[in-house]
């Protein structure tokens, strides 16, 4: 997506956005009864008692304020729990939870609706006919509140727990990793990182320091196509860029305005994001496993669960499509599988080196990946399996545990043979 689309997408996922939208909708709803009251027959106005709407709105106003405060306290507790027991990098996914945002938006909107209704009733703006409309709208609001409360109660059973947070990280990583496995160069032409010696090259540097959160390739391609130049991208989403490292090189001289146009395609921030950066999601999953393996937590089961999620992620059916360059005048170095494996498995192998159950599961997971796609994963799976075995031999004190890990890791001997992978 373009930078504008990405910014709008990020905006709509902010906690305050839906609450503000529901608040405006609630105020409009409360005032609609004033506009349509002339169309209500006078004979219908006797259906609703004079004080019925006033009492219901007063109850709604007081109860919704209390429920909103209570829900906010629950959210803060869930965020703190996830930050301390899982990893602080995963809390952004809890903040973007759609169910939680809908619940808060409904409660705040209901509170404002009742508040505006009470004020309008006190001013006598509704009249007897407008009270009928307000009464039936209020009944609909109450039904919506009841449904929202039931969903909220069900949602709280899992919200912020270890398994729920891990699932959110896996889902956030799935799309980005699938796209990157399918197009290692993100649709750009393959580049080995060496600039052509015969071409003039001018570098473009960032004006601030931070992580590259989003890269607008279409913007860069439009510029390159219009200018008739080639752009060699040095930074990928997730890269830490600073004023001393170029974002890209251009094959022709650039003016100051043209350099700024190119900089506009790079969105920098203080933290990495999940959308275009699959390695960030893998790092977060690895952090969850490492924290679970720390002596303070001592939860190898969570590490084993993360290893299973890693196998599921790398098993995505995404045949490489690096030969197809959608942006023919943009050149990018492909994302390396070795870097992804390092992000995912190095921390788990290091922190779980002394735990036989973790090492057994890790060896089996690497073996599974080597069998799933020998051409893509076998070399790096074998390398990490050997590193994990070396760490286990150093950290483990029980010879029986060492022998068990050694037996499971024997698949490495036949890693270069498809028959060996299938029969080991």
CATH number at residue 225: 3.90.1170.30
Query: 283 with 395, same domain?
Result: yes
- Residue 169 located in a structural domain: no
Query: 18 with 119, same domain?
Result: yes
Query: 375 with 294, same domain?
Result: yes
Query: 88 with 213, same domain?
Result: no
pTM over 0.95: no
Provide the pLDDT confidence category of residue 24 given band limits of 50, 70 and 90: confident
SS3 330: strand
Check pLDDT > 70 for residue 420. Answer: no
In the chain, count of helices (H) and strands (E)?
16, 8
- Residue 170 located in a structural domain: no
- Residue 174 located in a structural domain: no
CA distances, 315 to each of 23, 48, 175, 374, 381 (Å): 44, 62, 13, 12, 13
Query: 11 with 134, same domain?
Result: yes
pLDDT score for 421: 43
Query: 8 with 141, same domain?
Result: yes
- Residue 403 located in a structural domain: yes
- Residue 401 located in a structural domain: yes
- Residue 330 located in a structural domain: no
Query: 359 with 403, same domain?
Result: yes
* β-pair type (248-250, 202-204): antiparallel
pLDDT score for 201: 76
Number of domains in the chain: 3
Query: 139 with 249, same domain?
Result: no
pLDDT score for 137: 85
Check pLDDT > 60 for residue 100. Answer: yes
Query: 317 with 371, same domain?
Result: yes
The two three-digit tokens of residue 277, written as one number: 């950066």
Contact 401, 354 (CB under 8 A): no
Residues contacting residue 159 through CB under 8 Å, at least 6 positions apart: 74, 78, 94, 97, 100
Average pLDDT, the chain: 87
- Residue 168 located in a structural domain: no
Least confident segment among 29-33, 50-54, 376-380: 50-54
pLDDT score for 48: 60
Residues contacting residue 385 through CB under 8 Å, at least 6 positions apart: 362, 363, 366, 367, 409, 411, 412
Query: 373 with 239, same domain?
Result: no
The two three-digit tokens of residue 378, written as one number: 């076998």
pLDDT score for 300: 94
Least confident segment among 9-13, 172-176, 230-234, 388-392: 9-13
Check pLDDT > 50 for residue 417. Answer: no
- CA gap 257, 250 in Å, rounded: 14
Query: 15 with 152, same domain?
Result: yes
Domain membership of residue 384 as a residue range: 278-321+336-423
pLDDT score for 45: 59
- Residue 166 located in a structural domain: no
pLDDT score for 424: 40
Query: 262 with 292, same domain?
Result: no
pLDDT score for 77: 87
Check pLDDT > 50 for residue 422. Answer: no
């Amino acid at each position: 997506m373009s930078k504008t689309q990405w910014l709008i997408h990020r905006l709509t996922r902010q906690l305050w956005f839906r609450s503000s939208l529901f608040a405006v909708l609630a105020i409009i709803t409360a005032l609609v009864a004033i506009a349509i009251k002339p169309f209500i027959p006078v004979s219908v106005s006797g259906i609703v008692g004079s004080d019925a709407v006033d009492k219901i709105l007063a109850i709604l106003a007081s109860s919704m304020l209390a429920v909103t405060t209570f829900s906010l306290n629950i959210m803060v507790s869930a965020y703190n729990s996830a930050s301390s027991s899982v990893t602080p990098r995963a809390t952004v996914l809890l903040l973007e939870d759609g169910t939680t945002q809908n619940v808060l938006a409904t409660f705040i909107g209901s509170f404002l609706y009742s508040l505006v209704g009470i004020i309008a009733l006190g001013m006598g703006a509704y009249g007897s006919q407008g009270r009928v409309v307000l009464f039936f709208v209020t009944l609909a609001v109450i039904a919506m509140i009841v449904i929202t409360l039931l969903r909220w109660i069900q949602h709280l059973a899992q919200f912020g727990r270890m398994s729920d947070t891990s699932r959110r990280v896996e889902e956030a990583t799935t799309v980005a990793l699938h796209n990157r496995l399918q197009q290692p160069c993100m649709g750009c032409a393959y580049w080995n990182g060496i600039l052509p010696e015969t071409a003039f090259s001018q570098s473009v540097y960032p004006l601030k320091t931070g992580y590259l959160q989003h890269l607008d390739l279409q913007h860069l391609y439009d510029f390159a196509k219009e200018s008739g130049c080639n752009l060699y991208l040095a930074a990928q989403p997730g890269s830490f860029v600073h004023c001393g490292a170029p974002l890209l090189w251009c094959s022709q001289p650039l003016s100051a305005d043209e350099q700024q146009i190119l900089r506009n395609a790079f969105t920098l921030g203080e933290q990495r994001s999940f959308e275009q950066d699959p390695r960030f999601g893998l790092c977060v999953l690895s952090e969850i496993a490492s924290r679970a393996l720390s002596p303070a937590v001592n939860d190898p089961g969570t590490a084993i669960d993360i290893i299973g999620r890693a196998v599921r992620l790398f098993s995505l059916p995404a045949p490489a499509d690096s030969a197809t360059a959608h942006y023919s005048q943009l050149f990018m170095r492909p994302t390396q599988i070795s870097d992804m494996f390092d992000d995912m498995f190095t921390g788990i192998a290091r922190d779980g080196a002394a735990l036989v159950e973790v090492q057994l599961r890790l060896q089996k997971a690497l073996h599974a990946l080597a069998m799933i796609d020998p051409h893509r994963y076998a070399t790096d799976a074998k390398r990490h399996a050997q590193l994990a075995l070396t760490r286990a031999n150093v950290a483990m004190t029980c010879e029986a545990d060492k022998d068990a890990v050694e037996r499971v890791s024997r698949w490495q001997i036949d890693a270069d043979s498809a028959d060996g992978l299938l029969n080991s």
